A = this chain, B = another copy of it.
Amino acid sequence: MMEYVKQPKEIEDKSMKIIRPYLEGMDLSEEEIAVYSRTIHASGDVEYAKLVTTSQDAVAAGLNALKNGADIYCDVEMVRTGINKKALAQLGGEVFCQVSAPEIAEAAKAEGITRSIAAMRAYGKRLDGNIVAIGNAPTALYEVLRLCSEENIRPVLIVGIPVGFVGAAESKEALVEQAPVPFVTVRGNKGGSPIAASVINALLYLLVQRTQMLYIEPNK
């Protein structure tokens, strides 16, 4: 019989100890370290220590919003799946993703835009005071920036972490340069759904007393 660590809580504590040295000397608060650590934990990639970029107020803004029951609007189902909905529910928040809804497919076709754009556009005013979490589609992130600039929509936090080689890095630079609200992103090509979800979960775990249940399956 193979011998290996079977306790998720123990695995996570050990992981965080291994990750910590990569974040030393970076002038981060303990809360920011929790966010950065979880992106490294989710990717298995210590380079995230250098790639994560946040506005100065982002972590505080996210914590404050979640504490007050903010909802989370995602670009794709994988981000929704990755967010710990039990922890979020304890704070009164919900996660939404409508990219697969038939009416969004119709709107996208009618307007000649991607479903990711159509989904964010359809949320519109609902994003005010809530959190946006984007882990896949540069087009969704651009649309949220357009909603901010042209329609004066104001999420409290944009977690914008699309992944890939065409448009993703550019969309994240646009976020850094143009976001009129707090943001968390990852510079360059890397990113993706589990990274976006990990940022939200890091914030949640700073607020919610995690039970053994939550430790066993942090992504459920």
Contacts and interface: CB of A to CB of B under 8 A. Distances in A.
Interface of A: 1-2, 4-8, 11, 14-15, 18-19, 41-45, 76-78, 81-82, 99-100, 105, 108, 113-117, 136, 138-139, 142, 145-146, 163-168, 170-171, 174, 188-194, 213, 216-217, 219-220
Please give me the 7 A-B residue pairs with the lowest Cβ-Cβ distance, nearest first: A44-B189, A44-B190, A44-B163, A81-B81, A18-B165, A14-B166, A15-B165
Task: State the copy count for this chain.
Answer: 2
A99 B220 contact: yes
A100 B6 CA distance: 17
25 contacts: A2-B142, A2-B145, A2-B174, A4-B138, A4-B142, A6-B113, A6-B114, A7-B114, A14-B166, A15-B165, A18-B166, A19-B165, A43-B43, A44-B164, A44-B165, A44-B191, A45-B45, A45-B189, A45-B190, A78-B81, A78-B193, A78-B194, A99-B217, A105-B213, A192-B194
Contacts of A45: 45, 189-190
Contacts of A171: 4
Contact of A44 (B77, B100, B108, B168): B168
B217 A115 contact: yes
B5 A166 contact: yes
A213 B19 CA distance: 40
Given A44-B168, A139-B6, A219 B115 contact: no
Contacts of A164: 11, 15, 41, 44
Given A44-B190, A136-B219, 13 more contacts: A5-B166, A6-B114, A7-B114, A14-B165, A15-B164, A41-B164, A43-B43, A43-B190, A44-B163, A45-B189, A78-B193, A99-B220, A116-B217
